[in-house]
Amino acid sequence: MTTTHAPAATARRRRTPRTWVKSGGLTALAFALPMILIFTVFSWGPIVRSVVMSFQKTNLLQPAEFVGFDNFIAVLNDPLLGTAVLNTLYFAALALVMGFPIPILMAVLMSEVRRGKGIYSALAYLPVVVPPVVAVLLWKVFYDASPNGVFNTVLGWVGIGPQPWLQSQAQAMPSLVIEATWAAAGGSIIIYLAALLAVPPELYDAAEVDGASIWRKAWHVTLPQLRGVIFVMLILQILATAQIFLEPFLFTGGGPVNSTTTVLLLIYRYAFQNSLGGNYGMATALSVMLAIFLALLSWIYFRLTARWSTS
């Protein structure tokens, strides 16, 4: 008895370079080759160069000297590394608590709006359009610690005295998180709104028939349907907050008293604020360590959430 799958299986087994060429393999390779070369040169090239530089002592001005693992040892022995790591973890934790639920909540509320949904979407996305440097400079005006500062003026209306904001070790990091949340929430809101379009309307109709409120519909219908998107957005936010640089650099420069010095800001200091020309060996060594940590974190995260996001 013969099977209908035998000819196809035989064809797959007998696939040769000659048949690959006849089937258009060279044409496909010719179209893909420029992109492969560009990706290799501009993506993997710098990565390989950074790994090599992490084992060298160099400031890009004098000849490089191979030093083995000395750069990694110097970074691990730097007393400021622990502070930078803790500050980065603190920023990430605050961003998750303060910034991660807000886009989900806003998307759910906006999805319930019957009219003007496009206007609300545009307003929510507007902070993303503002150049990051301009946004930080704008918020520095808001965070003016004088009684005439924007936020302090608003607090004065309700009887609260002026706050030091960026000048306080306790308030500096939360202040950075508030601005970062404002700047990045719009993109997440748009992604969640797009994901909500794929939720079957019948589920909401059934919930309304059962008399479910908007909050019950969000908890029992919306969140379960968005579970896969939420898991992806969560790891993206974790990776982004672990690489925070712009806000600490422009707002406080890592102060006051290194209370906002993050890992990326420490890498910047190694490269540009140490000796003449900077110590690029230590900077790339810390960059490689951060990249390895984030890669392992992403692998563990996706292994743990693979079943949850689809079940």
CATH of the domain at 254: 1.10.3720.10
Cα distances (angstroms) measured from residue 13 to each of 5, 6, 18, 223: 13, 11, 13, 46
pLDDT value of position 1: 46
267 belongs to a structural domain: yes
Highest averaged pLDDT of the listed ranges 70-79, 213-222, 228-237? 70-79
Query: Residues 11, 88: one domain?
Result: no
Which residue would you say has higher pLDDT here, 3 or 230?
A: 230
Of the chain, the percentage scoring pLDDT greater than 70 comes to 91
Query: Residues 116, 176: one domain?
Result: yes
How far is Cα 244 from Cα 236, in angstroms, rounded to an integer?
Answer: 13
Nearest to 278 by CA among 52, 62, 51, 68: 62
End-to-end CA distance of the chain: 41
- The pairing of beta strand 56-57 with beta strand 65-66: antiparallel
Query: Residues 43, 175: one domain?
Result: no
H or E segment at 26? helix 25-39
Give residue 142's domain range: 70-305
Least confident of 80-89, 225-234, 250-259: 225-234
Query: Residues 245, 136: one domain?
Result: yes
Query: Residues 239, 190: one domain?
Result: yes
Query: Residues 298, 271: one domain?
Result: yes
Distance of CA 207 to the CA centre of its chain: 35
65 belongs to a structural domain: no
Query: Residues 191, 140: one domain?
Result: yes
Show the tokens assigned to 75: 């970074």
The answer to whether 229 and 246 are in contact (CB under 8 A) is no
Query: Residues 17, 137: one domain?
Result: no
Residue 292 predicted with pLDDT over 90: yes
How far is Cα 164 from Cα 119, in angstroms, rounded to an integer?
Answer: 35
Phi, psi dihedral angles at 44 (to 5 degrees): -75, -30
Show the tokens assigned to 98: 């303060």
- Domains in the chain: how many in total? 2
Which residue would you say has higher pLDDT here, 286 or 228?
A: 286
29 belongs to a structural domain: yes
Sequence length of the chain is: 311
Query: Residues 116, 218: one domain?
Result: yes
Query: Residues 255, 282: one domain?
Result: yes
Residue 2 predicted with pLDDT over 50: no
Query: Residues 95, 188: one domain?
Result: yes
Tracing tokens 């087994």 back to the chain, one arrives at 13
Query: Residues 34, 171: one domain?
Result: no
1 belongs to a structural domain: no
Amino acid sitting at position 286: L
The pTM of this model reads: 0.82
268 belongs to a structural domain: yes
